[in-house]
């Protein structure tokens, strides 16, 4: 396993003089702050299922919810507490006796109690003095401790609080019995350097473990959490998929993988389960994971650019910092506009086709051209598209062996005209022209070809499938033709259904004729 701190000179040098912990504790708040994501509301059954998965994942603490908030919340938390999971179960409570009583009644192992300390919250929200807030915090902590329950104390909006006062609050909290203090960056205003400074200052005076709870308002939640750990924080709050109020919280998968793969710091997380739990949480919260989300996003290990795909195929680490399997993901080579030949060759190999053996270089070049053309239309080229293109290119009778070739086709259709097609076919050395009307453009085109060829070859069956969605989808036409005692089924694919139909029919005719005279 790669640990960048040990292998990368720049990272190694930057961390000189910093004493990193061996192990960091993961406090998961997906079921509390994560559920505060606007619009998200989990049923007790969903919360229970997620809690079991979080335990399976190996988080140290599950903040199962805010018990006083509703009866359903209490039902879920009680049930989670009764499951005897390995993780400690925590409930959130304001520094209010009623909240604490309800949490105790749920049977939680730890109560996370909090009160805001910043001037803004003191003045406008709580309307309380500094002293009053300290006293409320002390009373709450002592009350919880009287019940023999572990206390985690948070000074809400800590990072916008006067530092001397914050230190005083935390010191008094520890004196009152807080087992761990949590430092919330409630509106995500910290920068990594400031977080480092704050935690280092607190570490000088606070002798219980320090935890951080970083919000992502400026996209810095993970960076700030890591900085706090560099400064000595022992626990970090995070959520699956970075869910949480506003811009969310520090994403568990990003924090854990950074700790493990960059810093070489252990957690208890079974990283191979990260993708699976991310999907489960996304399903129940109905919050889609953005494709470019680190670690668990669909594109986290996907490569379309030719240069990247070539590099990855030669050695995965060229364009992947960690192997996808480490987080339960799979590498994906995506074909499209930016694809290069190495990626297409690899994709064909996956489909059991080898260039030079199963297909010629010319056919390969044609496949590359067709894939790029599809990509140019803004399409993501799926495996099914590739298969259709390959069948189309490879399955066709070679140009030199063709008896019949399409020289020209013109089709006219509309609401006030009868669909009409005229074709010019090159039959051996002659040009044969004909036209026909039909119920639609495809019907007219096929009939015009039939007329040029004569009655000896008949169209028996015709099917069309749209491979990808959209009006510009690649369409696959499958036809069965009968003639000269033979029955042939052929396919052709094109974004234009008339062309796909004509190509399939002409290819079928060539297969039937196989160099037979038809004049
Ligand atoms: C930063 C955070 O994420 S904090 C957690 C936020 N999560 C939630 O709020 C979700 C669950 N919340 C709820 O269900 C409800 O808000 C409840 C049950 C907690 C409280 O509901 P209500 O009693 O109707 O109060 P409401 O939510 O409107 O207002 C909050 C009250 O709590 C007080 N309060 C806020 N934080 C604290 C605190 N940490 N300690 C003590 N009192 C607090 C406010 O001053 C206000 O008091 P007031 O009613 O005397 O003015
Ligand atoms: C309750 C506290 C820790 C919180 O969620 C916050 O400040 O964001």
In the predicted structure, residue 204 carries a pLDDT above the cut 70 = yes
What's the pLDDT band for 384 if we cut at 50, 70, 90? confident
Residue 186 lies in a domain: yes
Same-domain check for residues 244 and 311:
no
What's the pLDDT band for 114 if we cut at 50, 70, 90? very high
State mean pLDDT over 291-320: 96
Residue 488: predicted pLDDT: 85
Out of 172-181, 331-340, 363-372, 461-470, pick the least confident: 461-470
Out of 33-47, 171-185, 340-354, pick the least confident: 340-354
Atom 14 of ligand 1, residue of closest alpha carbon:
69
Same-domain check for residues 41 and 124:
yes
Q: What are phi and psi of 107, to 5 degrees?
A: 90, 25
Out of 131-145, 252-266, 299-313, 475-489, pick the least confident: 475-489
Same-domain check for residues 326 and 412:
no
Q: How far apart are CA 509 and CA 55, in angstroms?
A: 64
Residue 380: predicted pLDDT: 74
Residue 511: predicted pLDDT: 86
SS3 of residue 46 by DSSP: helix
Residue 94 Cβ inside 6 Å of ligand 1? The answer reads yes
Out of 31-40, 52-61, 344-353, pick the least confident: 344-353
Residue 518: predicted pLDDT: 42
The per-residue pLDDT of the chain, averaged, comes to 94
Residue 66 Cβ inside 6 Å of ligand 1? The answer reads yes
Which residues face 17 on adjacent strands?
Answer: none
Ligand that comes closest to the CA of residue 111: 2
Ligand that comes closest to the CA of residue 116: 1
Q: Compute the distance from residue 400 Cα to the ligand 2 centre, in Å.
A: 74
Q: Compute the distance from residue 251 Cα to the ligand 1 centre, in Å.
A: 25
Same-domain check for residues 369 and 230:
no
State mean pLDDT over 128-144: 98
In the predicted structure, residue 248 carries a pLDDT above the cut 60 = yes
Last residue in a domain, options 259, 285, 311: 285
Residue ranges making up the domain that contains 408: 399-513
Tell which residue, 411, 414, 385, has the closest CA to residue 473: 385
User: Tell me, what CATH number does 262's domain have?
Assistant: 3.20.20.70
Contact call for residues 181 and 206 (beta carbons, < 8 A): yes
Q: Taking the mean position of all CA atoms in its chain, how far away is CA 123?
A: 42
What's the pLDDT band for 453 if we cut at 50, 70, 90? confident
> Given the CA of residue 182, which atom of ligand 2 is nearest to it?
3
Counted domains in the chain: 3
> Given the CA of residue 116, which atom of ligand 1 is nearest to it?
39
Ligand that comes closest to the CA of residue 27: 2
* Cα–Cα distance list, 87 to 10, 157, 209, 359 (Å): 36, 27, 18, 56
Q: What's the order of all strands across the beta sheet hosting 430-437?
A: 404-412, 420-427, 430-437
Q: Alpha-carbon torsion 241, 243, 246, 249, what sign?
A: negative
Same-domain check for residues 409 and 467:
yes
State mean pLDDT over 307-319: 96
Q: What are phi and psi of 16, to 5 degrees?
A: -60, 135
Atom 10 of ligand 1, residue of closest alpha carbon:
69
Instruction: Please tell me whether the overall predicted TM-score, pTM, comes out greater than 0.90 for this model.
Output: no
Q: Which residue has the higher pLDDT, 226 or 417?
A: 226
ipTM, two decimals:
0.98
Residue 96 Cβ inside 6 Å of ligand 1? The answer reads yes
């Amino acid at each position: 396993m790669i640990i960048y701190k040990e292998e990368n000179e720049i990272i190694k040098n930057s961390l000189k003089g910093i004493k990193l912990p061996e192990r960091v504790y993961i406090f998961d708040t997906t079921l509390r702050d994560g559920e505060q994501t606007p619009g998200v509301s989990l049923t007790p059954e969903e919360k229970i299922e997620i809690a079991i998965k979080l335990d399976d994942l190996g988080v140290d603490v599950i903040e199962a919810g805010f018990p006083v908030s509703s009866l359903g919340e209490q039902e879920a938390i009680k049930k989670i507490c009764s499951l005897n999971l390995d993780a400690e179960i925590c409930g959130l409570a304001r520094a209010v006796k009623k909240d604490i009583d309800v949490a105790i009644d749920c049977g939680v192992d730890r109560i996370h109690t909090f009160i805001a300390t910043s001037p803004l919250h003191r003045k406008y929200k709580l309307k309380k003095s500094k002293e009053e807030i300290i006293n409320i915090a002390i009373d709450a902590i002592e009350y919880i401790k009287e019940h023999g329950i572990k206390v985690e104390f948070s000074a809400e909006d800590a990072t916008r609080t006067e530092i001397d006062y914050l230190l005083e609050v935390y010191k008094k909290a520890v004196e009152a019995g807080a087992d761990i203090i949590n430092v919330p960056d409630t509106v995500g205003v910290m920068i990594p350097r400031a977080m480092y400074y704050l935690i280092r200052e607190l570490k000088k005076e606070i002798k219980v473990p320090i935890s951080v709870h970083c919000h992502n308002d400026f996209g810095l939640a993970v960076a700030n959490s890591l900085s706090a750990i560099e400064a000595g924080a022992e626990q970090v709050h995070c959520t699956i998929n970075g869910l949480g109020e506003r811009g969310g919280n520090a994403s568990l998968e990003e924090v854990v993988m950074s700790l493990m793969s960059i810093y070489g710091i252990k957690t208890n997380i079974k990283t191979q389960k990260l993708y699976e739990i991310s999907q489960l949480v996304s399903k129940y919260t109905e919050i889609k994971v953005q494709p470019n989300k680190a670690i668990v996003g669909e594109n986290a290990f996907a490569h379309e650019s030719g240069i990247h795909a070539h590099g990855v195929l030669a050695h995965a680490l060229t364009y992947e910092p960690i192997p996808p399997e480490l987080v339960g993901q799979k590498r994906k080579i995506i074909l499209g506009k930016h694809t290069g030949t190495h990626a297409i060759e690899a994709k064909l190999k996956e489909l059991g086709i080898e260039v030079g053996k199963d297909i010629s270089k010319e056919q390969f070049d044609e496949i590359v051209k067709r894939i790029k053309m599809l990509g140019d239309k803004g399409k993501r080229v799926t495996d099914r598209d590739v298969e259709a293109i390959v069948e189309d290119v490879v399955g066709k009778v070679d140009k030199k062996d063709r008896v019949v070739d399409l020289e020209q086709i013109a089709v006219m259709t509309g609401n006030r005209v009868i669909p009409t097609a005229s074709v010019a076919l090159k039959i051996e050395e002659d040009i044969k022209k004909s036209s026909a009307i039909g119920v639609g453009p495809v019907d007219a085109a096929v009939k015009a070809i039939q007329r040029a060829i004569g009655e000896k070859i008949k169209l028996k069956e015709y099917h069309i499938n749209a491979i990808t969605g959209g009006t510009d989808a690649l369409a696959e036409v499958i036809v069965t033709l009968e003639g000269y005692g033979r029955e042939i089924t052929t396919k052709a694919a094109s974004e234009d259904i008339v062309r796909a139909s004509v190509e399939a029919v002409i290819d079928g005719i060539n297969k039937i004729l196989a160099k037979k005279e038809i004049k």
